[in-house]
Amino acid sequence: MSEDRPQLYLITPPAFETEPFADRLASVLDATEVACIRLALATTDEDEIARAADALREIAHARDVALVIERHVLMVERLGLDGVHLLDGARSLRKVRKDLGDDAIVGAFCGITRHDGINAAEAGADYVAFGPVGQTPLGDGARAEDDLFAWWSEMIEVPVVAEGALTPDAVARLAPITDFFGVGEEIWREDDAVTALKSLLAPLG
- pLDDT at res. 1: 40
Confidence grade of residue 190 (pLDDT, cut at 50, 70, 90): very high
Q: Does 168 score more than 70 pLDDT?
A: yes
Three-state DSSP class for residue 161: strand
Closest Cα partner for 181 from 192, 191, 170, 190?
170
Residue 1 lies in a domain: no
What b-and-e string marks burial along 97-123, b requiring 16 or more CB atoms within 10 Å of the CB? beebeeebbbbbbbbbebebbbbbbeb
Three-state DSSP class for residue 81: coil
Residue 146 lies in a domain: yes
Q: From the CB of residue 198, how many other CB atoms can be counted at a distance below 10 Å?
A: 13
* CATH number of the domain within which 158 lies: 3.20.20.70
Q: How far is CA 137 from CA 132, 141, 144, 166, in A?
A: 11, 7, 15, 13
Q: Does 4 score more than 60 pLDDT?
A: yes
Q: What is the pLDDT of residues 118-149, one digit of tens each?
A: 999 999 999 999 999 998 888 888 999 999 99
Domain count, the chain: 1
